[in-house]
Amino acid sequence: RKEVEQDPGPFNVPEGATVAFNCTYSNSASQSFFWYRQDCRKEPKLLMSVYSSGNEDGRFTAQLNRASQYISLLIRDSKLSDSATYLCVVNQDYKLSFGAGTTVTVRA
Amino acid sequence: EAGVVQSPRYKIIEKKQPVAFWCNPISGHNTLYWYRQNLGQGPELLIRYENEEAVDDSQLPKDRFSAERLKGVDSTLKIQPAELGDSAVYLCASSGDHADYNEQFFGPGTRLTVL
């Protein structure tokens, strides 16, 4: 079983729509959680950390459910520039485990 | 401020040939990581350095892969001999002090094709 599993998508949404997706992780001892964004043929970049209480960064909302070992990301008012692959990332003892990514395509 | 620098950006070699990748982390970052990313997958850690010490190399295929970070700054990852299955993007990342988890900054990667 993979440490981090994500729905690969693709999620194809119109501009202005809301899109949400999630991932699950297998190691209950995981300590911290993140969403990274990776554009086509580019390197991953940190989008946001995920806190137990849930957190927002502009149009992006992340949620963590430790009991269910589940992380989610919601994007409101999607922009064309949000088209990317979103990597769910779990940290334990400074070792990051990445999911395979969820691809989002926002169309005009 | 300069980001993580990697070279070469692309490399095409024949199987059984050796290949080396170079990484220069962000200035002041003590921790350096090498990852491999296969098509359609997330990055997978190969090795992590704290200064010049390899503190986690459990995922490094040691029969053909080696890495070094002699002065605790630049790092080199080598494959000898390369196999067809080594075709992937090799990403270097760095992060700052581990007093708490710090964001990892990735370089642009080296795209390796083994023919």
In this prediction, residue B17 carries a pLDDT of 97
Nearest residue on chain A to B91, judged by CA atoms? A43
Position A48 pLDDT exceeds 60: yes
Indicate yes or no: CB of A95 within 8 angstroms of CB of B44: no
Instruction: Report the distance separating Cα A89 and Cα A95, nearest Å.
Output: 10
Residues of B in contact with A4 (CB under 8 A): 42
Contacts of A96 in chain B (CB under 8 A): 43, 45, 104
- Give the model's confidence band at B101: pLDDT under 50 very low, under 70 low, under 90 confident, else very high: low
pLDDT score of B100: 53
**Contacts by residues B74-78 (CB-CB < 8 Å, ≥ 24 positions apart):** B74/B22, B74/B23, B74/B24, B74/B25, B75/B22, B75/B23, B75/B25, B75/B32, B75/B34, B75/B49, B76/B20, B76/B21, B76/B22, B76/B23, B77/B20, B77/B21, B77/B23, B77/B34, B77/B46, B77/B47, B78/B18, B78/B19, B78/B20, B78/B21
Q: What is the per-residue pLDDT for B5?
A: 97
B96 and chain A in contact, CB less than 8 A = no
Position B1 scores a pLDDT of 67
Task: Give the minimum alpha-carbon distance from A84 to chain B in angstroms, rounded to a whole number.
Answer: 13
The 10s digit of each residue's pLDDT in A53-105 is: 889 999 999 999 999 999 999 999 999 999 999 999 999 888 889 999 999 99
Which region among A77-86, B19-28, B90-99 has the lowest average model confidence (pLDDT)?
B90-99
- Residue B105: is its pLDDT beyond 60? yes
Which residues 47-86 of A have a C-beta within 8 angstroms of B?
A: none
Average pLDDT over residues B80-91: 97
What CA–CA distance (Å, rounded) separates B85 from A27?
A: 28
Note the pLDDT of residue A94. 80
For residue range A26-45, what is the model confidence (pLDDT) as tens digits? Answer: 999 998 999 999 999 999 99
Question: What residues of chain B lie within 8 A of the CB of A92, using their CB?
Answer: none
